[in-house]
A and B are shown apart, each in its own frame.
Chain A
Amino acid sequence: MLNFLLLIFIYTGIYALMAIGQNLITGYVGLLSLTQAGFFAIGSYVTAILTTKLGVNFWVTIPAAALFSALFGLLIGLPTLRLKGDYLAIATLGFGEIVRNILNNWDKLTNGPMGIQKIPMVTIFGYTISPYKKWGFLIMVWLFVLFAYFLFQRLAKSRLGRALEAIREDEIAASSMGINTTTYKVWAFILGASVAGIAGSLQAVFVLSVAPGVFTFMVSIMVLCTVVLGGMGNFRAVILGAFLIQFISYFPQLTGLTDIIPPQFRQVLFGLILVVMMIWRPQGILGRERRSAPTPLFKIKRGQ
């Protein structure tokens, strides 16, 4: 049981990382990106390929995964971020599917649908962080989460964060104040992508194998749910959201009710969460973190 709880906490950490990235993009800039699964996949494969094929140390693959994901964030961001929000959602969703499509078909590099196995375990100063001894792994994952949390929290309070919020509130007003909206949006995208890439690396060394089947649209939806449930624009809330989503996700196994609860239960529940939260509590459980007077961004105005 304890082992299972630890597993949930590890996954909470991995999803919290992705959600922190998503929060910068969706919570701060107000862009609906549906591609965290794609960056997650890229990060995983970078680590998998570098460690198994080239024998590179895991710690070197972490920045490589972040850089590679960031590069793809830039590639997808540059053309699509000039577009209005709705198109962006579809274009990014398409990008995620393209990534999976390529991973499935590029046999030489990715080994196709079979994926890559036998990824070496992480070692640090001669000590092996084995995914079987979960405490060590848990600590490692959460150190990454903490680091990302403080970094993004600082970023959000910096010039970048203020610019992003200005863009969300009114893009035209922001650009007339001299904010280069496209540049800032692309930066948000790059940062969000790189942290998802790191989450992918961690996932690769936790499961010790990667396969395209893992990185479905479902992953992007879970990350989105995490942000929406916790509260958009609030990094602490997003981590809370990650806990809740992971517990909901493993609820049948936790309670031993796998026979009664069908496997689709959690997906249906995630869908319900999105709809219900949007109607009754669009600001999420904790709501947006505010420094100044609240703006009624998500308040539904009653009809005239």
Chain B
Amino acid sequence: MGSIAELFQHLMNGLTLGGIYALIALGYTMVYGILKFINFAHGDILMVGSYIGLFTFNLIRGESLGVWTFIAFFIAMLAGMLFSAALGMVIERVAYKPLRRATRLAPLLSAIGVSFILSNMAAWLWGTRSRKLDYPFRNTPINIKGVAITPHQIFILVIVIIMMVALKLFVDRSRVGKAMRATSLDQDTAKLMGIKVDRIIAVTFAIGSALAATAGFLIALEIKVYPSMGTMTGLKAFVAAVVGGIGNISGAMLGGILLGLLETFGVALLGIPYGLRDTIAFVALILILLIKPEGLLGKAEKEKV
């Protein structure tokens, strides 16, 4: 018990889980940064992306295992991402845009409605049975000094890191990224500077949703796909975004990974019963909101009169 190898094992598992949370948390944080509201339907967009990826993969993978399976896997992931991106933009246009100037409560309620529609439509169309992605490649754990690492875990970590770096570069370096940052700072001024704010908001939703779909597809690989999968996963990722400091992209990454580690170590080392695993995230949320409400990397906002 408690040997170094075991510690690294939990670290590895925690990082994989945390990476997935981080990808989802990015979507929450980006939307919050710009529109100052929680996209409750984010988790369900993830679920839809996950299903689309799964279906595409089953459709095109063929029988033989080979290079094509590998390519098909990425095509399926891309399909899920594109579909989710489009879905995210449509939802924004239909359910949130008309409410941009309404009270804070209105878009929040609308988002809860969208979330409910999506998860139940999925249950209706695709059934409530949970599915799993058939392993496209071998998943025998690689043993490094007593630490068992599955190829899937490596795969997930690589994808997560690529996505994060790409996003960070996009937001920090590209023109659209600059426009996104400007919109998040001050919408009206951004508009005066010639930034098409509506389009930037749509792009933000598209990117956030695509990242969620990626995470969903990775969950399909490692865990399961079912219509209500988005609710809990989404909530936890939201907690991750808050812990890191909502509105802050690096914060979402940090928060996601911290939460993943906390859940894994909480069950493995602190002896929290597995059934109460989901509770850890919410206790973390309430604690962080009490101690440091702006999150680890967030800036405290002064309330203006």
Contacts and interface: CB of A to CB of B under 8 A. Distances in A.
B104 to A, nearest CB: 6
A91 B102 CA distance: 23
A268 B121 contact: yes
Contacts of A72: none
Given A97-B279, A172-B305, A270-B116, 18 more contacts: A30-B105, A32-B108, A95-B282, A97-B235, A102-B279, A105-B275, A221-B112, A224-B112, A264-B124, A271-B116, A271-B117, A274-B109, A274-B110, A275-B113, A279-B98, A298-B102, A300-B102, A303-B101
Given A274-B112, A275-B95, A98 B235 contact: no
Nearest to B227: A264
User: Which among A89, A228, A278, A302 has the highest number of chain B CB atoms within 10 Å?
Assistant: A278
11 contacts: A34-B112, A90-B38, A97-B279, A98-B282, A224-B109, A262-B124, A267-B119, A271-B116, A272-B117, A278-B109, A278-B110
A79 B102 contact: no
Interface string B115-149: 11111110110000000000000000000000000
B107 interface: yes
B293 A83 contact: yes
Contacts of B223: none
A104 interface: yes
B46 interface: no
A15 B101 CA distance: 32
Interface string A7-51: 000000000000000000010001010100000000000000000
B213 to A, nearest CB: 21
A97 B282 contact: yes
A87 B289 contact: yes
Contacts of B94: 275
Contacts of A93: 235
B286 interface: yes
Contacts of B276: 101-102, 105
B238 interface: yes
A153 interface: no
B110 A264 contact: no
Contact of B120 (A91, A101, A268, A298): A268
Interface residues of A, number: 48
Nearest to A275: B113
Contacts of A30: 103, 105
Interface residues of B, number: 48
B271 interface: no
Interface of B: 37-38, 94-95, 98-99, 101-110, 112-121, 123-124, 231-232, 235, 238-239, 242, 273, 275-276, 278-279, 281-282, 285-286, 289-290, 293, 303, 305
Interface string A248-277: 000000000000001011011011111101
B113 A80 contact: no
A172 B302 CA distance: 12
Interface of A: 26, 30, 32, 34, 79-80, 83, 85-87, 89-91, 93-95, 97-98, 101-102, 104-105, 172, 217, 221, 224, 228, 262, 264-265, 267-268, 270-275, 277-279, 282, 297-298, 300-303
A160 B124 CA distance: 45
A22 B71 CA distance: 51
B120 A79 contact: no
A61 B124 CA distance: 40
Given A79-B289, A221-B116, A228 B239 contact: no
Contacts of B305: 172
Contact of A94 (B121, B123, B281): B281
A302 B101 CA distance: 7
Nearest to B112: A274
Nearest to B121: A268
Contacts of B275: 101, 104-105
A278 B113 contact: yes
A91 B239 CA distance: 9
B97 to A, nearest CB: 10
B240 to A, nearest CB: 12
A228 B37 CA distance: 19
A275 B38 contact: no
A300 B120 contact: no
A273 B112 CA distance: 11
B101 to A, nearest CB: 5
A129 B112 CA distance: 38
A300 B235 CA distance: 29
Contacts of A272: 113, 117
A279 B38 contact: no
A86 B119 CA distance: 21
Given A85-B108, A97-B278, A275-B95, A300 B101 contact: yes
Contact of B105 (A32, A270, A303): A32
Contact of B113 (A85, A90, A271): A271
Nearest to B38: A86
A218 to B, nearest CB: 9
B272 to A, nearest CB: 11
Contacts of A302: 101
B286 A298 contact: no
Given A97-B282, A279-B98, A297-B103, A32 B238 contact: no
A35 B144 CA distance: 46
A264 B109 contact: no
B113 A105 contact: no
B303 to A, nearest CB: 7
A277 B113 CA distance: 10
A10 B89 CA distance: 42
